[in-house]
Amino acid sequence: MGTTLVLGLGGTVDYEVHWDAAVIESLASRFGIRRVELTTMAPIVDERSLVVTILGFVRDGAGGERFVVSSEVVKEFSERFATEITLGGTGVRAGIALDRLGIPSVQHLVSIDDNVRRLLPASMSYVSSATEDTLDPHLIVQYPAGTTIRLDDGEIVSPSSNRLIFANDPPNRNMAITPELGDALVDAAALLVSGFNTMQDEDLLERRLIELDAVMEHLPSAALVYYEDAGFYVRRFAERIWSHLLPRIDVYGMNEDELQEYVARPVDLLDPADVASALREVHRLIPVPALLVHTQHWAVMLGTAAERHREALESAVQMAATRYRLGDAFLAADFEATRDLPRSTGGGAVASGVERLIPGAVGVPAFRIETASPTTIGLGDSFVGGFLAVYAPVRQPQP
* 231-272 residue pLDDT tens: 787 888 999 999 999 999 999 999 998 999 999 999 999 999
User: What DSSP designation does 18 have?
Assistant: P
pLDDT per residue as tens digits for the range 311-344: 999 999 999 999 999 988 899 999 999 999 999 9
Nearest to residue 220, comparing CAs of 185, 271, 262, 258? Answer: 185
Q: Please count the structural domains in the chain.
A: 1
- 269 lies in which domain range? 4-14+85-134+170-389
Terminal-to-terminal C-alpha distance of the chain: 27
205 assigned to some structural domain: yes
**Alpha-carbon gap, residue 11 to 254, rounded angstroms:** 18
71 assigned to some structural domain: no
In terms of DSSP H, where are the helices of 138-268?
Answer: 170-174, 180-185, 202-215, 238-245, 256-263
Contacts of 158 (CB under 8 A, 6+ apart): 58, 59, 61, 143, 144, 145, 146, 147
Across the range 28-34, mean pLDDT stands at: 96
Residue 376: pLDDT band (50, 70, 90) is: confident
282 assigned to some structural domain: yes
pTM above 0.85, yes or no: yes
**Are 195 and 230 within 8 A, CB to CB?**
yes
Instruction: Give the pLDDT score at 396.
Output: 58
φ, ψ of residue 226 to 5 degrees: the values are: -110, 125
Instruction: Give the pLDDT score at 1.
Output: 58
Burial class (CB in 10 A: 0-12, 13-18, 19+), 350: buried
What CATH number is attached to the domain comprising 376?
3.40.1190.20
Cβ atoms < 10 Å from Cβ of 278: 22
271 assigned to some structural domain: yes
196 assigned to some structural domain: yes
Q: b/e for 148-170, b at 16 or more Cβ within 10 A?
A: ebebeeeebebeebbbbbbbbbe
93 assigned to some structural domain: yes
145 assigned to some structural domain: no
57 assigned to some structural domain: no
What order of strands is seen across the sheet that includes strand 12-17? 64-67, 162-167, 138-143, 12-17, 83-88
**Alpha-carbon gap, residue 221 to 218, rounded angstroms:** 9
Residue 373: pLDDT band (50, 70, 90) is: confident
φ, ψ of residue 395 to 5 degrees: the values are: -135, 130
**Are 86 and 16 within 8 A, CB to CB?**
yes
State the chain's mean pLDDT as an integer.
93
